[in-house]
Amino acid sequence: MNRAVDLARTAVIAAICLVAVAPVRAKASKPSKAKIEVSGLGWIHDRDQRHSLERLLGDQRQETLGANAIEDAAFLLVSALESEGYLKPVIEIELRDTSGAKQGFLFDATLASPLPRTLHARSVNFNVKEGTRSEITDLAITGLSAVPMRTAREYFVSTRTLLARGAARAYTPGKLRRAAESLQDDLRQRGYAEARVTAKKTDVDETGAKVAIAVDVLEGPRWEVSALTFAGELGAGVQLDFTAPFEHRPWTPLWQQEVRERIRRAFYTRGYPEATIALAAKEERAGGGIKPVTVVATIKAGPEVKVGQIRIAGNVRTQESVLRRRIRTKPGDPLNPIALERARYRLSRLGIFSAVDLEYEPADGALRDPVFRLAEAKPYETNLLLGYGSYEQLRAGIEFRQLNLFGLAHHSRLEFLQSMKSTSGEYNYTVPEIFGESVDGTARLFGLQRQEESFLRQEYGATIGLKRTLPWYKMEATTGYTYQALRNKDSQLSAVIPENSDVTVASLDFGLTSDHRDNPLRPRRGYRWFAQLEAASRALGGEADYQRVESGAAFHTSWGASRWIHLGLTNGIVTTGGAGNDLLLPVNKRFYPGGESSIRGYQSGEASPRGPDGKFIGAKSYVLGNVELEQALTPNWSVVLFGDGLGMSARLSSSLYEERLYSVGLGVRYQTLIGPLRVEYGHNLNPRVGDPSGTLHFSVGFPF
């Protein structure tokens, strides 16, 4: 029976993939494009460069490649190699022309010997001889005190990976120039307006492989703003009373930008959209490494402008009243570019336009019409979903989106997912800005069947909810009502778990999240926290009374130039308010720890508490701690040392955490556009009877 089920699931996954690639096969009847090959760089680099050339050549690559396209491709290869330190590469061009004859050329980057202009090739092979790579083996920086030496060296030689060799230490004249400019910009961002950085190559061995670099820094004094004054046309009704926060601060490009934006905002709100600001710093005598400067902001207000008629162009399918509600400015108001840009953003946020542009007609004059030019997105969108996890193994699915239903900017999303362990489907209907600017409404239908470690989970139901983005600390709040049927079949859980294989649950749900990470797919710095409450009650229409709370936080920081520390802490507890209510607590709502995003010495669900009979019991409380030390090996590869600790309890009467488990392990990660590909092995330090000694995980995505 299980064999038949596995075959059926495999067939469904294969069918999804076939549907997804069907459109690609349909395009095979189009005329084939000229073939491009690259050789001499190794299999992986040959393939990468070939794909880059095919993408960058674009429309130049038709059924044949002309002489210009072939030379452009060779120049692109030379540029890519020079950026890695190969300053004198040799490229042999082997091609087959339209008659089938083979020809060969040696590429001349000076174009003193160009290819024949009448040349047209059906296939081209670029045979590359890299030559000697020039690497920076010695770097001396003198005269620097305002910037940490490690930061300064990073501009010239990357030390963000453990193996800082090859391209990370490559020397090119362009790279050296850009590094010196970056260090100089860094100094000026710190207030050293007179800073000068010069860098030169001082020594090269006979082969050109080893290069020494000398960097000379002249910092000068740090400029500090002693006073900010205004001159020129101030405009009627414009108040400029904010000088104090800008005084006694370093004179930097960022300071100048902040002052200009503050002045513009004051003029924009009064209807002066063409106000210009020129900043001039008057130097005073330097002392103690500080040079005071008095800054004069000379303002030209320009004409006072009013809003004429507000026009919307390019709209076909959307009811105009939906769009007008997003534009708060009225005819006759002062023309405020910031307010109108905010309206453009609100129109873009609807998610039904591929582009929203704003312009004014006429371009000058005392009365101007704001014109919002819209480009409507496709009303339908279909996407293939693929993934892999150690427990569920291969996952495949299809997502179908509908945009702008009924011309009201409503959205719908239908998703179907199939893996070797589960089948799920979900339909979401979203109404943007249902209450005010920042509150979205959602209705959701869902269904799930998943083979857990000890039972078959079945869940289906509906949710109606609201989501609001809060300006405080980048928080997002959700609330809703859920009605669902929870079932478990083929249970192999411990006999101490009350029998409740079919329970209807009605609950109120609340959630808060705040994300301050630098990158959600590959976090290196920052933090994230969340809290969720599910309060089920028979008074809401269900058969169970419980309160399920989960909360957690993750913190990421660097430790050195190429190492990072990742910390995670999650906690969950479910209460029922008495033994009688505990009999109706759904098995599905207990916690079943373990897996690649939990305690990694166990497979999904294997870290659950065990009963006297050795079978699993779902936990009513748990706390999970994760610690990782990640060391970069190359820009894409890293190695991870981790430790996971789990405390849990199957009941709340005696202790929240009766049982404790610990795992340590090692992993390798490869960074991709969708997150890290992870291979990790977790070893259990204190396994129980029946527990594995450890578990090997293959997965995609950051663990916490």
Q: What is the pLDDT of residues 510-524, one digit of tens each?
A: 999 999 999 998 999
User: What tokens were used for 347?
Assistant: 């129109």
Query: Does the structure show a pLDDT above 50 at 96?
Result: yes
647-673 average pLDDT score: 89
Q: What is the pLDDT of residue 10?
A: 62
Give all strands (DSSP E) within 576-636, no chain letters: 621-632
C-alpha separations of 202 from 49, 85, 136, 167, 180 in Å: 33, 17, 11, 20, 15
pLDDT at 85: 87
d(CA 392, CA 396): 11
Distance CA 660, CA 670 (A): 31
What's the count of helices (H) and strands (E) in the chain, helices before strands? 9, 31
The per-residue pLDDT for range 440-461, each reduced to its tens digit, is 999 999 999 999 988 999 999 9
Q: Please compute, for residue 7, the number of CA atoms within 13 A of its CA located in the half-sphere on the CB side.
A: 4
Q: Is the pLDDT of residue 371 over 50?
A: yes
d(CA 404, CA 354): 12
Q: How confident is the model at residue 59 (pLDDT cuts 50, 70, 90)?
A: confident
Residues in Cβ contact with 398 at an 8 Å cutoff, skipping those fewer than 6 apart: 16, 19, 20, 382, 383, 384, 385, 415, 416
**Cβ within 8 Å of residue 568, ≥6 positions away:** 552, 553, 554, 555, 624, 625, 626, 627, 703, 704
- Ordered domains of the chain (ranges, CATH): 33-129 (3.10.20), 135-218 (3.10.20.310), 222-300 (3.10.20.310), 306-376 (3.10.20.310), 444-700 (2.40.160.50)
Q: Which amino acid is at 247?
A: E
What pLDDT does 23 receive?
A: 46
Beta-strand runs (E) in 321-438: 353-361, 367-376, 380-389, 393-405, 410-419, 422-431
Place of tokens 């849990």: 648
Rounded to an integer, the average pLDDT of 590-617 is 93
Sheet holding 196-204: strands in order across? 135-142, 210-218, 196-204
Band (pLDDT 50/70/90 cuts) for residue 45 is confident
Strand partners, 552: 530, 570
Mean pLDDT of 58-74: 91
Alpha-helical regions (H) of 518-620:
579-582
Backbone angles phi, psi at 662, to 5 degrees: -140, 140
Task: Report whether pLDDT(579) > 70.
Answer: no
pLDDT at 24: 42
Q: Which residue has the higher pLDDT, 434 or 663?
A: 663
Q: What is the pLDDT at residue 580?
A: 56
**pLDDT of 502 strictly over 50:** yes
pLDDT score, position 460: 96
Length of the chain: 704
Decide if pLDDT at 2 tops 80: no
Q: What is residue 1's predicted lDDT score, i.e. its pLDDT?
A: 47
Residue 490's alpha-carbon distances to 82, 450, 451, 501, 602, in angstroms, are 63, 12, 9, 10, 22
What is the distance, to the nearest Å, from the Cα of residue 259 to the centroid of all Cα atoms in its chain?
31
Q: Residue 27 has what pLDDT?
A: 43
Computed over every residue of the chain, the mean pLDDT equals 90
The model's confidence at residue 578, banded by pLDDT at 50, 70 and 90, is low
Q: Quick check: 168 pLDDT over 80?
A: no
Report whether pLDDT(19) > 60: no
What confidence category does residue 495 fall into, taking pLDDT thresholds of 50, 70 and 90? confident
pLDDT in tens, 391-419: 888 889 999 999 999 999 999 999 999 99
Strand pairing report for 222-232 and 120-129: unpaired
Distance between CA atoms of 394 and 12, rounded to whole angstroms? 11
* pLDDT for residue 110: 80
Radius of gyration of the chain (CA): 32
Tell me the pLDDT band of 18, cut-offs 50, 70 and 90.
low
Q: For residue 345, which of 259, 416, 438 has the smallest C-alpha distance?
A: 438
Of 561 and 505, more confident: 505
> What per-residue confidence (pLDDT) applies to 654?
64
For residue 160, the model assigns a pLDDT of 63
DSSP 424-442: EEEEEEEETTSSSSSEEEE
Record the pTM. Answer: 0.76
* Banded model confidence at residue 3, pLDDT cuts 50, 70, 90: low
Is pLDDT above 90 for 492? no
What pLDDT is stored for residue 208 in this prediction?
80
* Mean pLDDT calculated for residue range 286-315: 94
Q: Express each pLDDT in 585-603 by its tens digit.
A: 899 999 999 999 999 999 9
d(CA 277, CA 339): 20
Residue 165 has what pLDDT?
Answer: 54
* % of residues, the chain, pLDDT over 70: 93
Contact 259, 267 (CB under 8 A): no
Across 184-188, 225-229, 490-494, least confident range: 490-494
Are 268 and 299 within 8 A, CB to CB?
no
pLDDT-based confidence at 162, cuts 50/70/90?
low
User: Which pLDDT value is given to residue 21?
Assistant: 46
